[in-house]
C-alpha cells in the first residue's frame, strides 16, 4: 500500500515563522511524517546528525526521510569546516530544504566531540564552518544556538558570536533563550534551570534587522507564539509539540492564515493508517511509529486507554495495524460513553 498525499510547501519568506525543533530520539522521520498530518506549513528539523556519522557511518539511514515531510531541514553536529561542507553538499543532494548547524546542545556527547553549545566559545570557527557550507551548497545554511554558555554573562558576548557568523553569510539564527552550563547541569536541567531571557533575543532582531531571528525555549502555546512574533521573525517549538501534538493542528490557520489539514484527531489516525501499513510491510516495528503519537488524544476522554493499549502492545514482535486500530476504537468508545453521559 502506498501513500501519495503531498503537503503544500510554504512560501520561502514565511518558512521560519513556525518551526519544530530537532529533538534527539524524538524527531525522527516517522515522527515528522505524523507532524506533517497536523501542519503543512511548519518547518521540520531532523534529529542532530554528526558529520562523523555521515562520513563514516550508514549515510542512507541517517539521511532518509519521507517526501511528505517538506519543508524539512537537516541539523548537523560538527566543527571541522571541511567535514561540514561535505555534509552540507550531501544534504542538498538528498533534497533537504535547509542545513542547520547545532551550536546549542549542551550534552556530554557534544562536549567530548567539540560541537554543539561549546562552539559558542569559538565564533570564528563557526563562521568558517558556515562559509564552507555555503560554498558547498545552494540551500540555506542556518545556525541554532543559545544566548550564551557558562560565564558568558553579557548581551555583548552574544553579539560577539552572532556578528562574525552573520558576516560569513548566515542569515537565519535560531536562538534558544536560555544559556547553557556545560559543567554542572545535565541536558534536562539546561532546558529548565537557566532563566529564559526573551528580551535579549528581541534585541538581536532590533540590532540585526536584516537577519531572520527565530526564538526557541519555553514556548508552550500558540498564544505565546503570537506574542513572540510581534518581536521576532519566527518561533521554534520543542517538547510541547511532541507531548501535546494536537496543538499543531491549529498552526496553519492561526499563524499562516491557511486551512488546517486535519479537522479532528480521528482524521489524523485515518490518514496515518496507510503509512503505518506501508512501514510494517517494509519491516518496521509498530512501536517505532506509535511511540510518537501517544499524546495525540491528550486531554480528551479515552486518552489514557489509547496510550496504555499502544504502550502495552505495539512493542510486541507480531504487533500489526490492528493494534493501532484497537487503540483508536477504545478512544471512540470512551468518547461515545462520555457524550451519552452528558446527554443524560
Confidence of residue 42 (pLDDT cuts 50, 70, 90): very high
Same domain, 128 and 111: yes
Q: What pLDDT does 307 receive?
A: 97
Question: Is the pLDDT assigned to residue 271 strictly greater than 80?
Answer: yes
Q: Which residue of the set 105, 137, 170, 225 is catalytic?
A: 105
Which of 195, 230, 256 is the last residue in one of the domains? 256
Identity of the highest mean pLDDT range in 99-103, 185-189, 333-337:
99-103
Claim to verify: residue 187 and residue 225 sit in the same structural domain: yes
What sign for the dihedral angle of Cα 16, 93, 79, 53?
A: positive
Of 3-17, 32-46, 84-98, 202-216, minimum mean pLDDT range: 3-17
My answer on whether 178 and 140 are in the same domain is: yes
**Residue 291 Rama label (left phi>0; alpha psi -120 to 50; beta):** alpha
Same-domain status, 206 and 231:
yes
- Is residue 6 included in any domain, yes or no? no
One domain, residues 74 and 148: yes
Measured in degrees and rounded to the nearest 5, phi and psi for residue 273 equal: -55, -45
Quote the number of domains for the chain.
2
User: Residues 259-276: what's their mean pLDDT?
Assistant: 95
Pairing outcome for strands 43-45 and 234-237: unpaired
Distance CA 32, CA 18 (A): 14
Domain boundary residue among 198, 231, 256?
256
Residue range 172-216, pLDDT digits in tens: 999 999 998 887 777 778 777 888 999 999 999 999 999 999 999
- Say if residue 222 is in the same domain as residue 118: yes
- According to DSSP, the β-strands at 43-45 and 141-146 are unpaired
Residues 153, 64 share a domain: yes
Confidence band for 8, pLDDT divided at 50, 70 and 90: very low
Q: Give pLDDT, residue 184.
A: 75
CB 19 within 8 A of CB 45: yes
**Distance set, CA 8 to CA 4, 16, 67, 294, 332 (Å):** 13, 15, 12, 26, 30
Please give the pLDDT value at position 341. 66
243 and 175 belong to one structural domain: yes
pLDDT at 9 over 70: no
Q: What's the Cα-to-Cα distance from 159 to each of 120, 206, 215, 228, rounded to whole Å?
A: 11, 12, 15, 20
Whether residue 59 is found in the same domain as residue 116: yes
**Residue 240's CATH number:** 3.20.20.70
Contacts of 266-270 with C-beta under 8 Å, sequence gap 24+, read 266/328, 266/332, 268/34, 268/37, 268/38, 268/296, 269/296, 269/324, 269/328
Q: Is residue 4 part of a domain?
A: no
pLDDT at 10: 42
Tell me the H-state helices in the chain: 29-38, 51-56, 59-63, 81-93, 108-112, 123-136, 155-167, 187-192, 198-207, 222-229, 239-243, 251-256, 265-281, 287-290, 303-313, 321-343
Domain that holds residue 158: 12-256
pLDDT band at 113 (very low <50, low <70, confident <90, very high): low
Q: Among the listed ranges 4-8, 152-156, 201-205, 251-255, which one has the minimum average pLDDT value?
A: 4-8
| Same domain, yes or no: 319 and 291 | yes
Same domain, 153 and 173: yes
Q: Does any domain span residue 92?
A: yes
Q: Is 200 a member of any domain? A: yes
Is residue 222 one of the residues assigned to a domain?
yes
pLDDT one-digit tens code per residue, 153-173 = 899 999 999 999 999 999 999
Domain boundary among 236, 256, 276: 256
Mean pLDDT computed over every residue of the chain: 92
Question: Between the CA of residue 157 and those of 151, 174, 206, 262, what are the distances in Å?
Answer: 10, 17, 16, 44
Q: Does the predicted model carry a pTM greater than 0.85? A: yes
* Angstrom distance (rounded) from CA 67 to CA 73: 12
Q: Please check whether residue 319 is in contact with residue 286, taking contact to mean a CB–CB distance below 8 angstroms.
A: yes
Instruction: Identify whether 19 is a catalytic site residue.
Output: no
The dihedral of CA 174, 177, 179, 182: what is its sign? Answer: negative
Residues 216 and 319 in one domain: no
**Residue that is written with C-alpha cell 451519552 in the block:** 340
Amino acid at each position: 500500500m502506498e501513500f501519495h498525499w503531498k503537503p503544500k510547501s510554504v512560501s520561502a519568506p514565511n518558512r521560519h515563522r513556525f518551526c519544530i525543533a530537532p529533538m534527539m530520539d524524538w524527531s525522527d522521520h516517522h515522527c515528522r511524517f505524523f507532524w506533517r498530518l497536523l501542519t503543512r506549513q511548519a518547518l521540520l528539523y531532523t534529529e542532530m546528525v554528526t558529520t562523523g556519522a555521515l562520513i563514516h557511518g550508514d549515510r542512507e539511514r541517517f539521511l532518509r526521510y519521507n517526501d511528505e515531510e517538506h519543508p524539512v531541514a537537516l541539523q548537523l553536529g560538527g566543527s571541522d569546516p571541511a567535514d561540514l561542507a561535505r555534509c552540507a553538499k550531501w544534504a542538498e543532494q538528498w533534497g533537504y530544504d535547509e542545513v542547520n548547524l547545532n551550536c546549542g546542545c549542551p550534552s556530554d556527547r557534544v562536549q567530548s566531540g567539540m560541537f554543539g553549545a561549546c562552539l559558542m566559545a569559538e565564533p570564528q570557527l563557526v563562521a568558517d564552518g558556515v562559509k564552507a557550507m555555503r560554498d558547498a551548497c545552494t540551500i540555506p545554511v542556518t545556525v541554532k544556538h543559545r544566548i550564551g554558555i557558562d560565564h558568558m554573562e553579557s548581551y555583548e558576548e552574544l553579539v560577539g558570536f552572532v556578528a562574525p557568523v552573520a558576516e560569513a553569510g548566515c542569515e537565519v539564527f535560531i536562538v534558544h533563550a536560555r544559556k547553557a552550563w556545560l559543567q554542572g547541569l545535565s541536558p534536562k536541567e539546561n532546558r529548565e534551570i537557566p532563566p529564559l531571557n526573551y528580551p535579549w533575543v528581541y534585541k538581536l532582531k532590533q540590532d540585526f534587522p536584516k537577519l531572520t531571528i527565530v526564538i526557541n525555549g519555553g514556548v508552550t502555546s500558540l498564544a505565546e507564539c503570537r506574542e513572540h512574533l510581534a518581536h521576532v521573525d519566527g518561533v521554534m517549538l520543542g517538547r510541547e509539540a511532541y507531548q501535546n501534538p494536537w496543538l499543531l493542528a491549529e498552526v496553519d490557520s492561526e499563524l499562516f492564515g491557511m486551512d488546517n489539514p486535519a479537522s479532528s484527531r480521528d482524521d489524523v489516525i485515518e490518514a496515518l493508517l496507510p503509512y503505518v501499513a506501508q512501514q510494517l510491510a517494509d519491516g518496521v516495528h509498530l512501536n517505532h511509529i506509535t511511540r510518537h503519537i501517544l499524546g495525540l488524544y491528550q486531554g480528551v476522554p479515552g486518552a489514557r486507554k489509547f496510550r496504555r493499549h499502544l504502550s502495552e502492545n505495539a512493542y510486541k514482535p507480531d504487533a500489526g495495524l490492528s493494534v493501532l486500530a484497537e487503540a483508536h476504537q477504545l478512544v471512540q468508545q470512551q468518547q461515545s460513553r462520555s457524550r451519552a453521559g452528558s446527554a443524560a
